[in-house]
Structure 1
Amino acid sequence: MNSEHMILGVALTNSFGAHPAAWRLPHVNPEAYTDIDVTVEHARTAERGGLQFVFIADRLFLHGDLAVSNPLFNMDPIVTLSAVAQATERIGLAGTASTSFFEPYLLARQLKTLDVISNGRVGWNAVPSFEPDAFANFGKEPPAREKKYERLHEVMQVVQALWGSWGYEAGKPDQQGRYADPAHVKPVNLYGTQVGTRGPLPVPPSEQGQPVIIMPASSGYGLQAAVMYADIIIAMPSSIEEGRAQRQAIRQAAAQAGRNPEDIKYLAFAGFTTGDTERDALDTRLALDAHTDIRGPLARLSAYLGLQQQLTRPDEPLTTAQLTAVQAHPQDARSIRAVELAHAGWSPRDILAHAVFDPYPSVVGTAGQVADHLQEWFKAGAADGFMLNFDDFSTEIGNFVEQVIPVLRERGIFHNTYEGKTLRDHVGVPPQYGVNPRITTGPQ
């Protein structure tokens, strides 16, 4: 992968979109949650645009108020990605699997099998669970943070040891001789205080050896784990300055852990709704917002603008007196953005439609405005790439591929085509088979 080109993944956490009302749109199949063909079509669209991977997050409990919205997470990421693998050819396939509940032998077998059948396109988002509801589904209480990460370290190293237990030296099947050299398919006999395994794993190397490891950005125990194991770290910075600082902190911690900082890619979340004009994009967002109660967001916006009174005229720009009174919180990028939009003459409803309260920076505008945001962050060193979120998957993934990708290519910051076959090729991370030899801590 050319380092001058950004990495783009697309979050397909559910079948509808990031906006909670996407399932209500008239052009959306309301049964898409259980229709694998819908997810396959989203992935194919992303592949047509050359995006490096699709990403399916997970929570191990039913998440979402079914009275008003669809379930927020996929039914099962690994099963879903197995179907997507057979319907796509080049795009990477990344999914979440918790280190808190699943035994490492099962994790290693499922993920590496998916990597083999997809010809080396799999990434594992390795996360410890923290939600009490998830632990309740496994009949457990949430452990202390240090215990949670103690298990994560053990699981990561046992899984990777199992991935490497069928060595390359075992060779290919020879119909005139033996299927594989058993001397190079060995038990790992690796045991910690919480998990362990004998091995070996009955899965040979994939085209990329073993899955790419993805982890979320964190601090403390989480940062230590991420720089030890992750090839990709995904974060949610609110500003270029925050992204640049977090990326630099990760690079420094990686060097201290004995890794080359260039081997870890830092991706930032970003959300988009596109239109031929900014007004068109806002109207698209407003069509979604129309299905939600605006009273709560309006009260929150008033607070973000530093106003003492409620915003009672949502469709009219702020008055001169209100504009004189507004003030941004200097430490909150969303507050700063809201004030900028108010001074630009947008109404409160339109300010909300600019996605100022999204949990990550979002652009509601033209393809050029979307490309400007990505380019500014990328060129500033705030990210090596982005995890893309879209309000409405059924239209916005296609809009991004058809309208934004050509602009990024014209500017020379996104590749023209896949340069390799595997996810490691796509994101530019080095080969690894088995446990990273630089990592010496963990189960003995």
Structure 2
Amino acid sequence: MSQRQMLIGMQLGNGYGSQVTAWRAPGVAPRNYSDFDAQVRYAQAAERGKLQFLFLPDTPALSSDLTHEAPQMTLDPLLTLAAVARGTERIGLVSTASTTFMEPYNIARQFKALDVMSHGRAGWNPATTSDPNAAANFGGTIAERPVRYQRAHETIQIVQALWGSWQRDAWITDTATGRYADTSKINPINMQGEYVASRGPLPIPPSEQGQPVIFSAGGGDYGLTIAGRYANGVIGSTFSIDDARAQRDAAREAARAAGRDPDEIKFFAGIMPAIAPTVREAVERRKQLGVHTFPARVPYLGQMLGIRLTPDQIDDPLTPEQLAAARPSPFDPRAPRALEIAREGWTIREILGHGAIDYHPTPVGPASATADHMTEWFESGAVDGFWFSPDIYEDGIDTFVDEVIPVLQERGLFHTDYEGTTLRDHLGAPAQYGLDARTTAATAS
């Protein structure tokens, strides 16, 4: 068995799947959006596959056109994970929460309560929200990026300080003496930044892992600074091994620059597989999901290929003249793959059915195609693992767990059972309680 094992998380969102029309798929209850029991069932399926964590993206605004599409986020990520925590035992529970529009005390309290409730399985993805619709919900406007990231640094440090405001041995609960806690070990933090502040302490003792794990899903230099100083998990968006390796190396270098061991960071690439016994059947599955959305995507596919395409051509392959004129856009990393598929003779609808403009790479066909993609990227050193987005939760999770996971296990690339009980155990993340003195100094400098 390989000494190095890949890590796998799973996207959990609206109760339907990562494809915007999954709510209409056969076998899917169209009102799953408000069904927390369904979310628990999907989390249990992921846990059956021994996946290390669930990851819930979120934004504090409604950003979907509800005419034909379901919202992409869950009703509320923390409440969803609270329900999931009661129905699962091992899988990690990671959620996004905005540092732009949430106060550090609220974040600290909610996530540490989830961490205690789940016996040490919680993680937080701090997001510097840039959506004007979200700003409007809070009666504000979007600040410039340097301001948003400075507030993020302050928020993360205050949150971590609040998480450590009870010393590990402060909670006594001695019924014989009647002593509940040692109050000398539960202290205010009295932290004041330029944008946020908190006195503390929290009313919450440590969990089995001490405190939640920090994730990062932001890109660019600002996002790398967050990842390097605080994160143990980094969610990337990348469409090639070379780019994935560059992103992983950049995150590791950011950690090194912050005075941390680069091995404390694990890099996860997104993957959105289309799994069926054959490539044709997998494409047909995606075509059915895209009946109402694909026509509107045709012009953008044309932009990616540098040619004019219109919806009335959707069921035709590209003509020889179009193929000769096509040039993949240097500004869209998905374009070379889209042209490769087009050159195989697929129709425009089928090109879209291959996931040519999905947000992450889409291996298409039998489970072995997805396993091969994951194996190649992992063994090349480009990733530490993957963030898997099921197209339809109702059957896509079980298919991944029952067909892809066994292949990876047979190859010695994925574990057969959980080795620990906490999210830190699953990620191999070091113990931390309260602030990390290494990175606090770096931020102040």
Structure 1 match to 2:267: 266
Query: After the TM superposition, which of the residue ranges 177-186 and 363-372 deviates more from structure 2?
Result: 177-186
1:326 CA displacement: 3.5
Shift of 1:312: 5.4
1:26 and 1:134 mapped to 2: Cα distance? 33
Name the aligned partner's letter for residue 305 of structure 1: L
Q: Per-residue CA shift, 1:110-149, capped at 9, x if unaligned?
A: 1111100100000111111111111111111111211111
Q: Which one is further off, 304-313 or 88-97?
A: 304-313
Q: Distance in 1 between the 2:402 and 2:24 partners?
A: 24
Aligned residues of 2:301 and 2:309 also touching (Cα < 8 A): no
Q: Which moved more, 1:418-427 or 1:346-355?
A: 346-355
Q: What are the within-5 Å matches in structure 2 for residues 358-369 of structure 1?
A: 358-369=358-369
Quote the offset at 1:91 in angstroms.
0.6
1:280 and 2:281 are equivalent in the alignment: yes
Instruction: Kindly indicate whether the alpha-carbon contact (under 8 Å) linking 1:329 and 1:335 is maintained by their aligned counterparts in 2.
Output: yes
Distance 2:236 2:412 in 1: 24
After superposition, give the CA deviation of every residue in 1:236-278 in whole Å (9 maximum; x if it has no partner).
0121111111111111121111011000111111111200111
Query: In the alignment, residue 360 of structure 1 is paired with which amino acid?
Result: H
Q: Distance in 1 between matches of 2:143 and 2:87?
A: 40
Q: Which runs of 5+ in 2 are unaligned?
A: none
Q: Identify if the C-alpha distance between structure 1 residues 293 and 332 changes in structure 2 by more than 3 Å, giving closer, same or farther.
A: closer
Offset of residue 3 of structure 1: 6.4
Instruction: Report the equivalent of 2:147.
Output: 147
| Identity across the alignment (%) | 47
1:179 to 2:160 alignment? no
Distance 1:6-1:377 versus aligned 2 partners, 3 A rule: same
Partner of 2:215: 214
Counterpart mapping for 1:333-348 below 5 A = 333-348=333-348
Aligned partner of 2:224: which letter? L
Q: How far off is 1:306 after superposition?
A: 3.8
1:207-258 CA distance string (max 9 Å, x none): 0000001111322222212211111111101211111111111111211110
Output the CA distance in 1 between the equivalents of 2:201 and 2:330: 55
Relative distance call for 1:329 and 1:189 in structure 2 (3 A) is closer
Give the TM-score of the pair, scaled to structure 1: 0.95
Structure 1 counterpart SS, 2:9: strand
Report the Cα offset of residue 309 of structure 1: 6.2
Match runs of 1:39-188 below 5 Å:
39-177=39-177, 178-188=179-189
Q: Secondary structure at the match of 1:439?
A: helix
Q: How far, CA to CA, are the matches of 1:399 and 1:77 in structure 2?
A: 25
Instruction: Report deviation, 1:443.
Output: 7.7
Q: Which residue number corresponds to residue 241 of structure 1?
A: 242
* Structure 1 unaligned spans of 5+: none
In terms of mean alpha carbon deviation, does 104-113 or 190-199 score higher?
Answer: 190-199
The C-alpha deviation readout for 1:294-314, integer Å capped at 9, x for no partner, is: 1x3233333433445658554
Q: Does the residue aligned with 2:432 lie in a helix, a strand or coil?
A: coil
Kindly provide the CA deviation profile for residues 60-101 of structure 1, in whole angstroms up to 9, marking residues without a partner as x.
Answer: 011211111111211110111101100111111111111112
User: How many Å separate the matches in 1 of 2:366 and 2:433?
Assistant: 43
Q: Give the root-mean-square deviation of aligned CA atoms.
A: 1.9
Cα displacement (A) at 1:202: 1.2
Contact 1:191 1:443 in 2 (8 A): no
**In 2, Cα distance between equivalents of 1:155 and 1:303:** 40
Would the aligned equivalents of 1:157 and 1:443 in 2 still touch at CA under 8 Å?
no
Q: Secondary structure, in 3 states, of the residue corresponding to 1:362? A: coil
Q: Using structure 2 for the length normalisation, give the TM-score.
A: 0.95
Change (3 A) 1:3 1:437: farther
User: Aligned-pair distance for 1:385?
Assistant: 0.9
Q: Distance in 2 between matches of 1:221 and 1:319?
A: 44
State the AA in 2 paired with 1:283: E
Distance 1:202 1:10 in 2: 31
3-state DSSP class of the match of 2:334? helix
Q: Which residue pairs with 1:402 in the alignment?
A: 402
Q: Over residues 153-202 of structure 1, what are the superposed CA-to-partner deviations in whole Å (9 max), with x where a residue is unaligned?
A: 11111111111111113254222232222221112111112222222111
1:312-349 C-alpha deviation (Å, 9 max, x unpaired): 55444444444444343456442211221122232222
What is the one-letter code of the residue matched to 2:282? A
Aligned CA distance change for structure 1 residues 308 and 166 (closer, same or farther; 3 Å):
closer
